[in-house]
Amino acid sequence: MNWIFHKYGWFLKSILAIEVLVISLMIFENAIIIYIPFILGNILDSILNGTLTTNSLKLETTKIITLSFILFLISFIWGKYLFRNSILLEKLLKGKFNKFVLSRDLHFFNKNKSGDLLTNLNNDTQSISHIMGEGILSVNNIMITTPMYIFAMIYFVDWRLTLVSLIPLPLIAISIHYLGKLINKRASSMFQSFGKMNNHIVDSITGMKVIRSTVNEEKNIDAFRHVSYEVAKENKKLSLINAMFWPSISIIMGVSLAISLIYGTYLIINGTITIGELVTFTFYQAQLSFPMFAFGSLVNTLQSAKASDDRMDQVYQQSYNNENDNKEIRNLNQVQSINFNNLTFNYPSNNTTVLKDISFKILEGDMIGIVGKTGSGKSTLLQLLLKSYSDPANNILVSGIPINEIPISNYLELIGYVPQDHILFSGSIEDNLKYANGKANQEELISVLKLVCLWDEIMFMDQGLRTLIGERGTKLSGGQQQRLSIARALLKDPELLLLDDPLSAVDIHTAEQIINNLKKYRQGKTTILCTHRMEILEDADKIFVLDNGEIIEKGSHLELLNQEGWYMQQYMKQKLQNKLLNFEDKEF
């Protein structure tokens, strides 16, 4: 219980006024519920004594009906306010988790699967928020209803009968304790299997094209059947315990009722209580089963919430690697220079060194090319510049400031990035472009589309800029998708533009044209372009050749050709291939 006050005390404080209102209404409600059996007991005794008149019967029944209406109103009002709290907490928890996840670095996403994060976001937040709805209701039930009924049993009937009827109740606490532990265990397994099912769904939807092209639909359906069967199995186990929970409490309540009936009859024979009083007492006793159930429900709610809170804590405890909070934070307005000083990097999941002793300097306005074989470390280098992974030794400096000391939001504002697997959203071409700059006008949109040689194609589409591009841009060709991604990054007019092999699906002439446009348009601003196409780098200010994480050659295009190394060989090979292709095109 302590963990709730420790972690959610702030929320409980904020709903204190509502809680006071709910408690007052519940006290009033219980007083009415206690009064109704008292009326019934009196009517019964009057019947047995022969003192009941038509008028008194009318009066008492009118009282009961009026009180029932008042009861309806009271429970409607407290129910409305109480469950609003749990909805509000769920919303806050979801918002906090979403913000946390969105500000993580890539290590986090390498470690946590999307399906598990979805389970945290949907199920765990809901399960925790139940504390503020069902949980508070149960606590109120236990704290208000129990003492009020025990008082009514003693005051209106008999203290000895009350004491005897309460004897079996500790058994309830014992069974709740053991069953509660089991519920916690089963709820954890259920959520885990739920997470696996979510992972499978995310993988299947995102990989649908591959599944189809490799004719793996049946296999995928079978795999889903398996994970959903696991969820159903875990759910069944959980509902079995839940199903045992309530009947066990009912049995104990039944025993308690039987004991009080036997002892109550003895007290009637003795003349200590009347028949009407015993009837009133059994009503109270039946009502007392609600707080007992509430106790069970509270244990249930708390156990599930604790399991969910622990799971979310495991995610929250994964620290943020991008920014060292202890260090001074410095804002940046311009990218005047970029320095890599003896940077060595390896992914934690993979012990091999991906980048080795990388050192170079880039000046404002440079267009830099980075080339190398697949797996040589080009994308990793860009990811480090994007602060996607921490640079533990402060080997990367932007405008002379260690990258770890620049706040990520400020830093990313200055950067435009086009990833290898260009990401587009369902919506129109305009929506996708405006994702980078919502304020851009029509001319600005057209101007960036012209820079990437895409406007001529869009112009002839039925809806022009309003053309819907389908989920992840599937209605566009690969080359169009790539060019739209570059146009989006350009719309931000970033200080530093990072392009990760962005023109692989575009023909060489168009690619060359785009690079020329970029060079002219981005004068004074820095661009880093990773590519395996050397021809488009002829005008680059500097080119770095990476091999196995090391810079093996560097210089301008002409300098590299003169070095007669890997760059020169690849360049010649590509030139020859393009000539052959051109020749074949002409022949046909």
Token pair for 14: 């904020």
> Which of residues 148 and 354 has its CB atom nearest to ligand ADP in the complex?
354
* Residue 418 CB, nearest approach to ligand ADP (Å): 14
Q: What are phi and psi of 543, to 5 degrees?
A: -130, 135
Q: Which is nearer to ligand ADP, 376 or 527 (CB)?
A: 376
- For the bound state, the minimum distance from the C-beta of residue 370 to ligand ADP, rounded and expressed in Å, comes to 8
- Are 305 and 316 spatial neighbours (Cβ–Cβ below 8 Å)? no
Closest to ligand ADP by CB, 165 or 383 = 383
Phi, psi of 480 (to 5 degrees): -65, -40
354 or 362: CB nearest ligand ADP? 354
Residue with smaller CB distance to ligand ADP, 337 or 420: 420
State how far the alpha carbon of 234 is from the alpha carbons of 197, 238, 268, 305, 435, in Å: 12, 6, 51, 17, 42
**Please, what is the minimum distance in Å from the beta carbon of residue 575 to ligand ADP?**
22
Residue 143 CA to residue 172 CA, distance in Å, equals: 16
Least separation in angstroms between residue 546's CB and ligand ADP is 7
Print burial letters for 346-382: b (CB count within 10 Å at least 16), e (below 16).
eeeeeeeebbbebeeebeeebbbbbbbeeebbbbbbb
Short-list 359, 370, 371, 365, CA closest to 397: 359
- Min separation Cβ 112 and ligand ADP, Å: 13
Closer by beta carbon to ligand ADP, 130 or else 378: 378
Shortest approach of ligand ADP to residue 544 CB, angstroms? 12
**Distance in angstroms (rounded) separating the CA atoms of residues 290 and 96:** 35
The torsion defined by the Cα of 110, 113, 118 and 121, in degrees rounded to 10, comes to: -50
- Residues 497, 495: Cα–Cα separation, whole Å: 7
**In whole angstroms, what is the distance from residue 296 CA to residue 584 CA?**
80
Least distance to ligand ADP from the beta carbon of 554, Å?
16
CA distances in angstroms from 227 to 88, 176, 231, 232, 383, listed in the order given: 32, 31, 6, 9, 34
Q: Which is nearer to ligand ADP, 266 or 347 (CB)?
A: 347
Least gap, CB of 135 to ligand ADP (angstroms): 41
Q: CA distances (Å), 222 to each of 173, 189, 204, 346, 422, in order? A: 44, 21, 12, 37, 31
Nearer to ligand ADP, 129 or 395 (CB): 395
Task: Give the whole-angstrom CA distance, residue 297 versus residue 308.
Answer: 16
Give the contacts of 150 (CB within 8 A, at least 6 positions apart). Answer: 162, 166, 288
Closer by beta carbon to ligand ADP, 175 or else 353: 353
Torsion angle of C-alpha atoms 407, 500, 474, 463, degrees rounded to 10: 80
Least distance to ligand ADP, CB of residue 109, Å = 9
- C-alpha–C-alpha distance, residues 305 and 126, integer Å: 9
Pick between residue 148 and residue 537 the one whose CB is nearest to ligand ADP: 537
Q: What residues line the site for ligand ADP (CB under 6 A)?
A: 110, 347, 349-350, 354, 372, 374-380
| In the complex, least distance from residue 378 CB atom to ligand ADP, rounded to whole angstroms | 4
